[in-house]
Structure 1
Amino acid sequence: MHKKIIVGVLGLPIRKNENGETEFLLTQRFAPTRPDAHLHWQCAGGALEFGENPEETLVREFKEELDVIPQILYHQPVVTSYTWKTHPEHPVHLILIIYPVSIGNQKITITDPDEETSAWDWYTFESIKTLKLLSGTMEAVQKTNELIIKGLLKF
Structure 2
Amino acid sequence: MKVNKHTHLGVYGLAKWQQSYLLIQKARGPYVGKWDLPGGRMEFGEQPEASLIREFEEETGLVPSKVSVSSSQSTVLQWEIQGEPEEVHHIGILYHVISLQGNQLQQIKRVADGHDSLGAEWFTSDQIKDMELTPFAKYMIDLCSS
Determine if the TM-score, normalized by the shorter chain, exceeds 0.5. yes
Separation in structure 2 between the aligned mates of residue 71 and residue 53 of structure 1, nearest angstrom:
15
Mean Cα displacement is larger for which, 82-91 or 41-50?
A: 82-91
Separation in structure 1 between the aligned mates of residue 79 and residue 127 of structure 2, nearest angstrom:
28
Once the two structures are superposed, the pairs formed by residues 1-155 of structure 1 within 5 Å of their partners are 1-16=3-18, 22-31=19-28, 37-73=31-67, 75-87=68-80, 89-101=85-97, 102-103=99-100, 105-106=103-104, 107-109=107-109, 110=111, 112-114=113-115, 116-146=116-146
Aligned-residue RMSD, C-alpha: 2.2
Q: State the aligned residue count.
A: 136
Q: 1:94 to 1:63 in 2, by over 3 A?
A: same
> Is the Cα contact below 8 Å between 1:100 and 1:144 reproduced in 2?
no
Q: Which runs of 5+ in 1 are unaligned?
A: 17-21, 147-155
Question: Residue 52 of structure 1: SS of its match in structure 2?
Answer: coil
Q: TM-score, normalized by length of structure 2?
A: 0.79
Q: TM-score, normalized by length of structure 1?
A: 0.75
Q: Which runs of 5+ in 2 are unaligned?
A: none
Identity %: 31
Q: Between Structure 1 and Structure 2, which shows a larger proportion of strand residues?
A: 2
Give, in angstroms, the shift of residue 96 of structure 1.
1.0
Q: 1:99 to 1:72 in 2, by over 3 A?
A: farther
> Is the Cα contact below 8 Å between 2:24 and 2:35 reproduced in 1?
yes
Separation in structure 2 between the aligned mates of residue 123 and residue 56 of structure 1, nearest angstrom:
25
